[in-house]
């Protein structure tokens, strides 16, 4: 294979982007860049879902309520938007039937020669177990290995996080090892499994196509 052609400095292929739709059960799943006006929905879900989210997310120094308030969002949104514009991340909002439902965050984007990033996600507990996050991450992976031209996407997860591991396994992520005391989560340094996928492992037709073949999603 010829070496990749270096990209012009400052270019960030594949951002901004709108992805989907995919249908899971009776729900329509799409992704779009996070917006300033997501603040009220973001804070409402995250305040209500503290017990659901806190065991798996980086420690919220300053207190969950304050760090997830409507007033906190504009600052976070600005940092996310800036990182997106600088080519460091792809900060997606998940929408379900048009309403804000969570995040899929592609972060730590490193271009040549690594062409690598990590993916992280969370979703409204009211939609849990219906395939929304798996569909959303499938669309994002197709985008990462397509227009963004990444070669490797990583994900880290606590061994106790059964639902998140299920998302990764359904998509074909490969477990590479255990990262000791990897991340400060819920007040302590927690071990995480490291999972990854490389471009050579993209299923025929892509990840969304695989979910459709597996009977887990439909084209809208």
Ligand X SMILES: CC(C)(COP(=O)(O)OP(=O)(O)OC[C@H]1O[C@@H](n2cnc3c(N)ncnc32)[C@H](O)[C@@H]1OP(=O)(O)O)[C@@H](O)C(=O)NCCC(=O)NCCS
Q: Is 90 in the site for ligand X (CB under 6 A)?
A: no
Query: Of 129, 87, 92, which is closest to residue 110 (Cα–Cα)?
Result: 87
Q: Is 179 in the site for ligand X (CB under 6 A)?
A: no
Q: Is 121 in the site for ligand X (CB under 6 A)?
A: yes
Torsion sign over Cα 136, 139, 145, 148: negative
Query: Of 147, 134, 128, which is closest to residue 29 (Cα–Cα)?
Result: 134
Smallest distance from the beta carbon of 163 to ligand X, in angstroms?
3
Q: Is 53 in the site for ligand X (CB under 6 A)?
A: yes
- Whether residue 33 contacts residue 14, with contact meaning beta carbons closer than 8 Å, is answered with no
CA pair distance 81, 77, nearest whole angstrom: 6
Smallest distance from the beta carbon of 39 to ligand X, in angstroms?
19
Q: Is 77 in the site for ligand X (CB under 6 A)?
A: no
Q: Is 178 in the site for ligand X (CB under 6 A)?
A: no
Q: Is 87 in the site for ligand X (CB under 6 A)?
A: no
Smallest distance from the beta carbon of 5 to ligand X, in angstroms?
34
H or E segment to which residue 75 belongs = helix 73-85
Binding site for ligand X (CB under 6 A): 52-53, 56, 121-123, 127-134, 157, 161-164, 166-167
């Amino acid at each position: 294979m010829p070496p990749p052609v270096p990209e012009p400095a400052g270019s960030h292929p594949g951002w901004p982007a709108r992805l989907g739709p995919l249908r899971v059960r009776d729900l329509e799943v799409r992704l779009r860049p996070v917006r300033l006006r997501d603040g009220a929905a973001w804070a409402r879900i995250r305040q209500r879902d503290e017990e659901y989210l806190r065991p798996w997310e980086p420690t919220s120094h300053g207190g969950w309520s304050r760090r997830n308030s409507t007033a906190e969002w504009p600052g976070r949104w600005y940092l996310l938007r800036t990182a997106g514009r600088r080519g460091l991340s792809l900060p997606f909002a998940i929408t379900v039937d048009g309403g804000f439902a969570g995040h899929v965050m592609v972060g730590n984007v490193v271009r040549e020669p690594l062409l690598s990033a990590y993916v992280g996600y969370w979703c409204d507990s009211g939609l849990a177990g219906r395939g929304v996050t798996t569909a959303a991450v499938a669309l994002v992976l197709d985008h990462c290995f397509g227009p963004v031209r990444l070669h490797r996407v990583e994900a880290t997860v606590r061994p106790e996080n059964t639902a998140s591991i299920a998302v990764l396994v359904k998509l074909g992520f490969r477990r590479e090892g255990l990262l000791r005391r990897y991340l400060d989560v819920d007040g302590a340094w927690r071990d995480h499994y490291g999972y990854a996928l490389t471009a050579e492992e993209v299923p025929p037709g892509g990840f969304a196509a695989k979910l459709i073949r597996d009977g887990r999603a439909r084209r809208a």
